[in-house]
Amino acid sequence: MTIPDPSFTSRDPAEHTGRTARQGPRTRRRRRGQLMVPSDAKGRAALMSSLAQRSYPTYELFVYAVLCGAILGLGYVLDSQALLLFGILVAPLLSPWIGLLLATVTGSARFFFETLMALVVSALLVFLIGGLAGLAARPFMPRTFNEAYMHSRLWWPDLIVLAVGAIILTISFIRSEAKPFLPSVMMAYGFFLPLSAGGFGLGGGINNVWPHGLLVFLVYFAWAGMFGLLTLMALRFLPGNSQGFMMSVGLAIILVATLVLLMSGGNWTPSFALQPPLANSTPLPSPSPTINVNLPPILPAETSTPVVMMATDTATAPPTPVPLTLEVTLPATASPTITLTIEPTPVYARIKVGKGGGAVLRASPGGKGITVLDNYSIVQVLSDTQDVSSTTWAHVIAVQNGSRLDGWIVQVYLDVATPAPNWVPSATAIITPTP
């Protein structure tokens, strides 16, 4: 027995049955693949209830967060890009992120708190496991962790990918009952990689990775949240009550404030332009000749005792005046000798490791790492070099965050625009003028 469709009227039951048999499966497949957002209040309430059930956090979120954090931490320890990509593929489905946005629009404070706490706990798991990986990497120090350095920096291509992923994830989750794994992976790439890198930098004591990775995670989360809210509004999910309106406006203000404060610049953002040498420090004086003039002391002139010539008296001649003869003897003055001392010309170089890389500044050749110098940063190269295990190390001086750092770096990472590091200028030139 065939029950006719209430929305379809036909006088011939057989004709109706045939059309239903021909059009029913295709129509059902199309409706399952693309769910339309209902316009009536009852249909929207039913859809919101279904979306809330699908986006409610489960234990799978935390299990996959632990697994993802462990693989990402191992990838940072081994500096392996393949392991990092594998860790992102096993990341949990970010359906609670959609639940957070839906709770904001509908004004459900309890559902908002539950989804927010689930996201915070999963993020803490990834962060703490990254910190344990950093502690495990300390015995193998010093090493260059290029992947941790790259993913703890803010990149505009990542922001574009994250915005596209947030829009696709929101649309796919609302209009389809299937699980949108691909856009969730796109968002997990922006969320978990910098978060794990920040924990790795904290556990490993790498200053240029911590807290930069955590700041990048906050920027990416706020960026994705803004695009998610805009997408929900484009899908006609507008606040239906005053509480939903206030929560939506409050969340939008917090997200915009986070973006403005954290994207205003800092040493955790990538350096696209070459910075001037030794910025944020006292400028080095330009080389100027030092002139030492050695003059012998001038002795005071000695005045000789006047010699008085007395004439003999005669009987008839009157006395005549006696002339005085003054004899003054001055010692010879030596010609001054001018010694001109020329300071060596400072040699500067820039760090050039590779795209988005950095180089480790060490306390001694092959010794303990001091910090990681950003790519294209400027250092002053001193004249002494050392060869350790077939690797040439150059003695450099770097200025970072207003501090002057003295250390050693692998010579091949230096792009020298002035003479080579072992170049030594002539120290002293002596100029003797003619008297």
Q: What is the SS3 assignment for 328? A: strand
Q: What is the pLDDT of residue 384?
A: 84
Burial state string for 169-187 with b = 16 or more CB within 10 A and e = fewer than 16: bbbbbbeeeeebeebbbbb
Give residue 19's identity as a one-letter amino acid code.
R
Q: Which two tokens stand for residue 416?
A: 């020298």
Distance between CA atoms of residues 24 and 4, nearest Å: 12
The string of pLDDT tens digits covering residues 135-173 is: 999 988 777 788 999 999 988 899 999 999 999 999 999
Instruction: Give yes or no for a contact between 220 and 159, defined as CB atoms under 8 angstroms apart.
Output: yes
DSSP class of residue 385 equals: E
Q: What is the pLDDT of residue 291?
A: 44
Distance between CA atoms of residues 258 and 261, nearest Å: 5
Neighbours of 14 (CB within 10 A): 9
Instruction: Give yes or no for a contact between 189 and 208, defined as CB atoms under 8 angstroms apart.
Output: no
* pLDDT of residue 27 exceeding 60: no
Q: What is the mean pLDDT of the chain?
A: 76
The string of pLDDT tens digits covering residues 296-352 is: 454 444 444 444 444 444 444 556 665 655 565 666 666 666 666 666 678 888 888
The domain ranges of the chain are: 32-262, 271-292+336-435
The string of pLDDT tens digits covering residues 244-279 is: 899 999 999 999 999 998 887 554 454 333 333 333
Domain 271-292+336-435 has CATH 1.10.1370.30: no
Distance between CA atoms of residues 127 and 93, nearest Å: 18
- Best CA proximity match to 283, nearest among 373, 346, 351, 359: 346
The vertex-138 CA angle with 137 and 143, nearest 5°, equals 75
The string of pLDDT tens digits covering residues 120-142 is: 999 999 999 999 999 999 988 77
The reported pTM is: 0.57
Q: What is the pLDDT of residue 355?
A: 64
Q: Which two tokens stand for residue 260?
A: 């403005």
Q: What is the pLDDT of residue 390?
A: 80
Q: What is the pLDDT of residue 389?
A: 77
